[in-house]
Amino acid sequence: MKRTRSQTNIVHVLKSLNHPISAQDLYVEMKNRDLGLGLATVYRNLEALKLEGEVQVRQLPSGEAVYSLVHQDQHHLTCVNCGQSFPIDQCPVHDLEEKLEISHRFKVYYHTLEFFGLCHLCQSGE
């Protein structure tokens, strides 16, 4: 699949950041690097890259969407009180993903797994 120059620039910036970023913050980051694109163009290209399986999107508890390159599946513990997310390394559904690909003839690009609750600081009332 051939990427546009805008898509190539977005992938390059996401790779250099190595952490999820909102479309608005990506727009500002690209502007700061003299790779200015309009905000609508950033959104449109993120959507195209998502449909190709290059970019993944995750909804934060605040409702904000953050984007990152698809390099590995993401798993988090997210506190419903303070909104902090803690990445976890274990993947209890990896085998299920492989079975679903076979049984449903479905190509999985990535998956997310998120548990919601209270972090230790919010549990102790701090």
**Sign of the alpha-carbon dihedral angle for 79, 83, 86, 87:** positive
Grade residue 60 by pLDDT with cuts at 50, 70 and 90: confident
Residue with the larger pLDDT of the pair 97 and 23: 23
Q: CB of 43 within 8 A of CB of 6?
A: no
Q: Percentage of the chain with pLDDT > 70?
A: 96
pTM (2 decimals)?
0.67
- As a whole number, the mean pLDDT across the chain is 88
Measured CA angle at 15 (ends 11, 17), to 5 deg? 120
Nearest to 113 by CA among 46, 47, 56: 56
pLDDT at 89: 80
Token representation of residue 76: 């988090």
- Would you say residue 74 has pLDDT above 80? no
Tokens 């919010």, residue located: 122
- Would you say residue 95 has pLDDT above 90? no
pLDDT at 9: 94
Q: CB of 58 within 8 A of CB of 95?
A: no
